[in-house]
A and B are shown apart, each in its own frame.
Chain A
Amino acid sequence: MSDSNDGIVLTEEQKRRRRARSIAIAVSLGVIVVLFYLVTLVKGPAVLNRPL
């Protein structure tokens, strides 16, 4: 059974922009992971021990 007519078919431009958005989200998540890693190194064992 062919499903070529089912659902929304993205144009090349839409695919390109979706790919760019996906890369941006991946980079942002990577930055957050690296940031938490660095701060953990900087703060050491005190990372979870701070005054409110």
Chain B
Amino acid sequence: MRNLDLVLLALLVAGAASAGQREVQLALPLRPKLALSGHERLYVGPFLRENPEDKASADVRFDVANEFERYLRRLLRKETKFVLVATLDAVRLPTTDPLQLGNEADFWRGLGQKTGADIIVAGSIDFQIQDTNQPKIEAYESPTDGRTYYRQVMVEQTGFTYDILLNVYDARSGALVLQEPLKDTQQRDERSFDEFTGMFANLYALENQLVGIFVPRTIKTKRILFTR
């Protein structure tokens, strides 16, 4: 009788297995946000640094806008086939209001004429650093009775927030073609963590989104097939 039970169970398992599923991976394309041919002449910059009077911003030892501009040029050179036009020295923005920049069509058209670019990639950046003390619950084993207790400890952290408003202009008309906000926050379990490393952690996290504005990407995703 026991053997019969085992045989029946084996049959059930075999039946269940025959009505199976299989996970497969697909590579699907993602369109870029801009419908460009990929061979346009691109001018990168200028970028406006937001909140220069802010204390957290003033502590930074490097020029955030320049570093971002340099990083973006390197990224576009690596990932796209655009012709990157040489940067002009001392380009002065007509306003310090990041939202107003998009309306300054005359300025962008003029910059387009000077550089001979088809597209201008500019915008504004806000980079914030916050040193914080956060309470955290931690387990510890008591040396007296060997039991596990929980205690609250203060953990020192550094938070980096990188907020970009990327504007893409048609260099011939000066019109704003695309406005893309990009934001990333990173936490490091250390007080006064190096801000340069923190900023690049933000930028690497945003890299995929930045590239996705200009060129098509592929994403990997999973689906289930029925196998019977």
Q: Is the A/B pair a real complex?
A: no
* B binding-site residues for A, Cβ under 8 Å: none
* A binding-site residues for B, Cβ under 8 Å: none
